[in-house]
Chain A
Amino acid sequence: MGREHLTNDEFFAQLNNLFEYNRNTGHGSVYLSQKRLIFDTESQPKTPTKVADDPLWDTHPENPLPILVRAHNNRSSKLDGKSKGTDRKDVDKISISTVVQPEKLDAFFVQYAEACKAGMSGLKKRDRRGKKDKKKKKKGAAETKG
């Protein structure tokens, strides 16, 4: 992952593309991950001494640390012999990453939630069952009326 990080806005645009791509193909995965970013230029020289002094230094750092958020799809390769019956295609791995500064964290996750809600359209909708029940009820009502 030697690529440069995107800005938060660019990241969301790319994330939407990933989800859109997933929707178009009709199958596949989108992976999202988040972790603390420790290999920062400022904090790096401090860490060795801290480790020596206190093994639990990382539970109470002096300053809030940024978070690294990554997203990627799954790569698939077209197999000559095996994929005859399927519509499997060559798909390159697309990976994107961004650094979220602690001040922007909450705003980022609000936007993140919106992007994910919009993107994960394959999941079961909440009101499906209810609609069916309503339809049944309506039908029942119509029958009683008729």
Chain B
Amino acid sequence: MPYLETSAEWYEQSSLLLKARPTTTHITSKYTVLKPNARKIKKHTKYLEKRAARPADSSRPTSEAPAADSALEPKATFVLKTYDPASGTCLQYQTTKAAEVGRLIGSLGRLGRHQAALPEGMEDLGAPAEATGISTPQMEEDVKMGGAPAEAKANGGGKKKKKGKK
């Protein structure tokens, strides 16, 4: 199963899949921390010994040292998978960056709106939390809210004009 290259692409494809098959499609995400296995540790120690044996390359070791340490640290990955068993479609995206988690969970939320059969348009933060169940009256309120400042501005404008006349 191939991994998609960007999270944006994953989101796009997943939303299309969810639109087509909202009932059967599910999204699974996996956060894994893996310790390096015994073989890898052995390999790495051998590699270190080899490198220590020939110190001829004097310029490089300083830059390679941190990379060598990171090879023995536990490796964490976060994989997102959208799967539809009815059609067999599977979309995956993998990352190792902590910075992406917030955005990815955000897109999980937006995909969740597809799954819940909620309208798509409410992507503005803050507002949708209340506006989901009763969308139409909320919109009316918004219009009213929008209308009020406009009137106020109009009044203000009028006052200014009057002031200007005086």
The interface of chain A, by Cβ under 8 A from chain B, is 19, 22, 26-36, 38, 58-61, 63-67, 85-86, 100, 102-103, 105-110, 112-113, 116-117, 119-126, 132
Contacts and interface: CB of A to CB of B under 8 A. Distances in A.
Given A60-B117, A124-B97, A35 B27 contact: yes
A28 to B, nearest CB: 6
B98 A112 contact: no
Contact of B109 (A103, A109, A123, A124): A109
Nearest to A57: B23
Contact of B101 (A66, A100, A116): A116
Q: Is the interface on chain B under 10, 10 to 19, 20 to 34, or 35 or more residues? A: 35 or more
The 6 closest A-B pairs by CB, nearest first: A109-B109, A122-B76, A35-B26, A113-B105, A123-B98, A126-B99
A133 B89 CA distance: 43
A2 B120 CA distance: 32
Contacts of A58: 21-23
Interface of B: 19-23, 25-35, 38, 66, 74, 76-78, 95-99, 101-102, 105-106, 108-109, 111-113, 115-118, 122, 128-129, 132-133
A121 B97 CA distance: 10
A123 B76 contact: yes
Contact of A103 (B38, B106, B133): B133
B132 A28 contact: no
B117 A29 contact: no
B108 A112 contact: yes
Nearest to A107: B129
B78 A59 contact: no
Given A27-B34, A27-B74, A59-B22, A34 B106 contact: no
B82 to A, nearest CB: 10
A26 B26 contact: no
A117 B96 CA distance: 13
Given A102-B132, A120-B101, A122-B74, A36 B108 contact: no
A74 to B, nearest CB: 9
A116 B76 CA distance: 13
A125 B98 contact: yes
B97 A30 contact: no
Given A32-B29, A34-B27, A102 B105 contact: no
Contact of B108 (A34, A85, A102, A117): A34
B116 A116 contact: no
Given A19-B31, A59-B19, A123-B78, 15 more contacts: A28-B32, A29-B30, A31-B29, A32-B28, A34-B26, A102-B118, A103-B132, A108-B109, A109-B112, A112-B105, A113-B105, A120-B31, A122-B33, A122-B76, A125-B98
Contacts of A30: 30-32
B63 to A, nearest CB: 11
Contacts of B112: 34, 67, 100, 105, 109
